[in-house]
Amino acid sequence: MEENIKQEFENFLRSKKISPKLLKEAEKDLFEEWLILFSAVSSKSFVMQKLFLINNIRRKYHLDKENNTTSNEA
């Protein structure tokens, strides 16, 4: 998969307040599945298909948790 698609997907997750790092570490299969779908459809279509799942994933892997984990490790 192209690196720019992966970067775009990670930026999309951040825009939804989801930590791509935490999601990939905890649920690699889901991350890969969503990445494949994201590369095949528009971001709006992706959101329409995954809206309720995005909300649940945001609660589990919120971007703030990544920042807290990073600062605790320093």
Residue 1's pLDDT is what?
A: 61
Beta carbons within 10 angstroms of residue 15's beta carbon = 10
Q: What is the pLDDT at residue 70?
A: 53
For 47, half-sphere exposure in the C-beta direction (CA atoms, 13 angstrom radius) is 8
Regarding predicted confidence, which is higher, 35 or 74? 35
| Residue 13: band (very low, low, confident or very high) from pLDDT cuts 50, 70, 90 | very high
More confident residue, 68 or 65: 65
Predicted pLDDT at 59? 93
Instruction: Look up the pTM and report it.
Output: 0.83
> Does residue 19 sit in helix, strand or coil?
coil
Average pLDDT, the chain: 90
